[in-house]
Amino acid sequence: MSVPPKKAFPLRLDPALYAAIERSAATDLRSVNAQVECLLREALGRRGVKLEDPVRARRGRPPKSPEGEE
């Protein structure tokens, strides 16, 4: 399964808000970008907006190919 590309756009934030998100992200062991996405999903969920679960990239090494194949 291929991961669809993400939509990139500029976002201007108050420096104090960014700092708070950065601290929250560090606590949750996430990047600031992932934390913003998580917070937006939580906020939309509280408003009753239903979203599909995000497609996550597979992590780790790819499976080994059978002997003799390259």
Q: Give CA–CA dist 29/24, Å, rounded.
A: 9
Q: Give CA–CA dist 3/33, Å, rounded.
A: 17
**Domain-embedded: residue 5:** no
Q: Give CA–CA dist 30/32, Å, rounded.
A: 6
Q: Give residue 30's domain range.
A: 15-46
Q: How confident is the model at residue 68 (pLDDT cuts 50, 70, 90)?
A: low
CA 3 and chain centroid, separation: 12
Q: For position 69, what pLDDT does the model report?
A: 57
**Domain-embedded: residue 2:** no
Q: For position 13, what pLDDT does the model report?
A: 96
The tens digit of pLDDT for each residue in 7-57 reads 899 999 999 999 999 999 999 999 999 999 999 999 999 999 998 887 777
Q: For position 18, what pLDDT does the model report?
A: 97
Q: For position 70, what pLDDT does the model report?
A: 55
**Domain-embedded: residue 55:** no
Domain count, the chain: 1
